[in-house]
Structure 1
Amino acid sequence: MAKHEEVKNGVIFPVGEKNDAFAQFFVGQSYLQTLVADPKVNVGVGNVTFEPGCRNNWQIHRDGFQILLVTGGEGWYQEEGKTAQFLKAGDVIVTHDGVKHWHGATKDSWFEHIAITAGKPEWLESVSDELFDSLED
């Protein structure tokens, strides 16, 4: 049984539907509940839930930023050239414009965060199994 099973039902906001629209940019299953999608606001806000082992591809935010507010479970965040950071509920990550990074669940835990995103992401290659499997929580 995976750790933090309660996350799969949503911690603060609903889990949402399977994230099929962005599935090509993830390894494993994620879920997305859009919280703010107002065309008059230049920021998108979504509740993203990751099944154990799920992570998104490397990405760069252009002309913007991304803020992650971790609400449940255990996960990873890594910027290119830096050591991966272990994440748990209450952690906050700020990714600045032009920084290559990825984030997702640990191998054995559900993970959820609120993503506040301005600008457009440039999706890149997937995080290799070799890199992911080398992380220790």
Structure 2
Amino acid sequence: MRIIHGRPEQGVTEERGATFDGTVWADPVLPTTDGVTINSVYFTPGSRTHWHRHERGQILQVTTGSGWVCSEGGAPQRLLPGDVVWVPPGERHWHGASTGCALAHVAISLGTTQWETPVSEAEYLAAPQQ
């Protein structure tokens, strides 16, 4: 058993860059432990991840704002506070804020993450930006 009291000492808020479009900030909740990483992630309006996959899946719990999640071949799905998303192992997907609203979620990533290409503007705007 390991207890993390409050904010981990080694955890600092960091601006994410190379695998995100727009301004995205992340706060570590649990540094990688036994292949599990937990971050609180804040997306400014219009920002999003690149396409990516997780070796053993990912859980997203939306805490505030509104945004989108999309699996390859599917239509973007609206995200609102209280929503929980299970992304199965290896499923190619992206997630981020809507154009007019920020989004915050807790991301629980299982295993390694394979980052891929940016989400094109056309792919992102396929989501109705309400």
| TM-score (normalised: structure 1) | 0.81
What is the rounded CA distance, in whole Å, between the counterparts of 1:38 and 1:84 in structure 2?
29
Q: Structure 2 matches for 1:54-93, cutoff 5 A?
A: 54-62=47-55, 64-93=56-85
- Give the CA RMSD over aligned residues: 1.5
Structure 1 runs not aligned, ≥5 long: 1-12
Larger helix proportion of the pair? 1
Q: Structure 2 matches for 1:30-109, cutoff 5 A?
A: 30-37=24-31, 39=33, 41-62=34-55, 64-109=56-101
1:19 paired to 2:15 = yes
How many residues matched? 119
Structure 2 runs not aligned, ≥5 long: 1-6
Change (3 A) 1:38 1:57: closer
Specify the code of the residue in structure 2 equivalent to 1:51.
T
What is the rounded CA distance, in whole Å, between the counterparts of 1:18 and 1:129 in structure 2?
25
Change (3 A) 1:129 1:110: same
* SS in structure 2 of the partner of residue 130 of structure 1: helix
Query: Following TM superposition, by how much is the alpha carbon of 1:46 offset from its aligned partner in structure 2, in angstroms?
Result: 0.6
Q: In structure 2, what is the equivalent of residue 120 of structure 1?
A: 112
1:29 paired to 2:35 = no
Query: Following TM superposition, by how much is the alpha carbon of 1:43 offset from its aligned partner in structure 2, in angstroms?
Result: 1.1
Identity of aligned residues (%): 32
Whether the 8 Å contact between 1:57 and 1:127 is mirrored in structure 2 is: yes
Whether the 8 Å contact between 1:18 and 1:29 is mirrored in structure 2 is: no
What is the rounded CA distance, in whole Å, between the counterparts of 1:31 and 1:79 in structure 2?
22
Specify the code of the residue in structure 1 equivalent to 2:103.
F
* SS in structure 2 of the partner of residue 132 of structure 1: helix
| TM-score (normalised: structure 2) | 0.86
